[in-house]
Amino acid sequence: MVRWRLKSMLADELFCPSAPGPRRLTPWRRLQLAVTRSIESWPPAVFEEPFYRPPLPGAPLFVMDPVAIHEVLVHQAETFVHGALWRRITRPIWGRGLAVSEGAEWARQRRLAAPAFRPAEMKQFGPVASRAAERLLKRWRLQGPEVVQDVYEGALLWAFDAFVDSFFSPGKAEGLERNELLAHLRGLLKQAGTMRLSYFLAPDAHHDGRPSPAAANLTAFRQGVRRLICASLENGGSNLTRSLTTDPDLLEDNVSGYLAAGHDTSAVSLAWAVFLASSDLSIAAALRAEAKSVIGEGPLQPEHVEQLVSTRQVICEALRLYPPAYMMTRVCTGDARLGPHVLKSGDRVVIPTYALHRHRRWWTEPDAFKPSRFAPSASPPDRHLYMPFGAGPRICIGAAFAITELTAALATLFRSARFELAGEPPWPITDLSLRPLGGLPMKITIDGEVP
């Protein structure tokens, strides 16, 4: 443990967090891990080669080649669809919403939702995310100026507050029984993230028409979402609610999906970013100095977000090392070729984003925390090698919003607090997103009163 901490203090040595990587396992152990900790089951070839197909009947083709990834997600996007298993897992939360739809219906919904997520307007949400981070700091400060708290748990509270205040009615998070709604939401996500052996061994067609796993929290969660929508509409609505009110049922489906997906992925991303930045003392100091210089002592303003250059680099590197959507799956609907591999209808394709972001062939020092990769002067990575939000027409609609809120929140936290790991180094575990096993306990020292 001491050696792990000291390494991050050496100026000439990059910090490499403990995380799954290429290793050789017995077939039985690999199958066991595939169900509970999938990225730990991936063989060295997934981190080193452009393609890999497990030696099992019906096994998916792993694709790590950027040209082939472009074929799957862009050029032949209509041939490679999410498939029946994806619908079965996501339907309880998304209903008929954007993430579940395909073809013309997907295009219609995307077009309706697009105004709410226009990238040019996202900077207005920076102050909202910053205020949510300040509320989190105040919760911690009530426990004393130096406390040990689970940063991941705190990030879950921050993400919910930031989402509700950004896209609905500011200040409504508390009045809408935040803790209860959060509990129902997390119960839903836990249920949806429960893996079954059939998810890995059965063909995609096996899941077509099969009922989704029962979700005990679904009714209570949906009731909370309806109250959220009503509160927004009573106050004139937001861009999101106004753009989708032509179909009330669809509005509820998409709000449920956006809340679930945005809350979960933003929370884990912020937690990993805090861990990484605090593990390198020079980077932590740089973030603190940048936040104080750009924001000052007052509240964060919309124009501050684009000036937080170093902070944004840390966010981008955290999303590389710990992409919340650690893999993407597609199902082939017709004859296709990817590199040397011929696929037929029903064949599955896996794009292992986590391994792609640490691939030995495409990245230098792939396991090292190196935010300078994303400096303005650096060459940007290939868009089909760095994909924390996916790529192609189905790229995450909230990508610009996520970067804005994460940048604002991280700067706000580091302006007022110092973080130090309070236990063993966190280990990423696969759920619906890539979260730290056992949480992320950290010693938090807060300077004086939070603004």
Among candidates 77, 70, 25, which has minimal Cα distance to 46?
Answer: 25
H/E element holding 51?
Answer: strand 51-52
Q: Is position 16 annotated in a ligand binding site?
A: no
CA angle 369, 119, 317 (to 5 degrees): 0
Q: Give SS3 for 245.
A: coil
| Positive/negative CA dihedral, 161, 165, 171, 176 | negative
Q: Give SS3 for 80.
A: strand
The conformational region for residue 315 under phi > 0 = left, psi -120 to 50 = alpha, else beta, is alpha
DSSP letters of 353-373? HHHHTT-TTT-SSTTSB-GGG
3-state secondary structure 185-218: HHHHHHHHCCCCHHHHHCCHHHHCCCCCCCCCCH
Tokens of 184: 């129902």
- Locus of tokens 């950004």: 166
C-alpha of 451 from chain center: 28
Per the CB < 8 A criterion, the answer to whether 110 and 360 are in contact is no
Q: Which residues of 165-203 are buried (b: 16+ CB within 10 A; e: fewer)?
A: bbbbbeebbeebebeebbebbbbbbebbeeeeeebbeeb
Q: Which residues of 84-93 are buried (b: 16+ CB within 10 A; e: fewer)?
A: bbbbbbbbbb
DSSP letters of 381-399? PPTTT--TT--GGGS-TTH
Other Cβ atoms closer than 10 A to 120: 7
- The residues facing 417 across adjacent strands are 446
Among candidates 354, 257, 435, which has minimal Cα distance to 21?
Answer: 354
Tokens of 5: 């901490």
Q: How far is CA 82 from CA 136, 254, 365, 383, 395, in A?
A: 36, 17, 32, 20, 13
Residue ranges for the known binding site for heme are 396
Residue positions forming the annotated binding site:
396
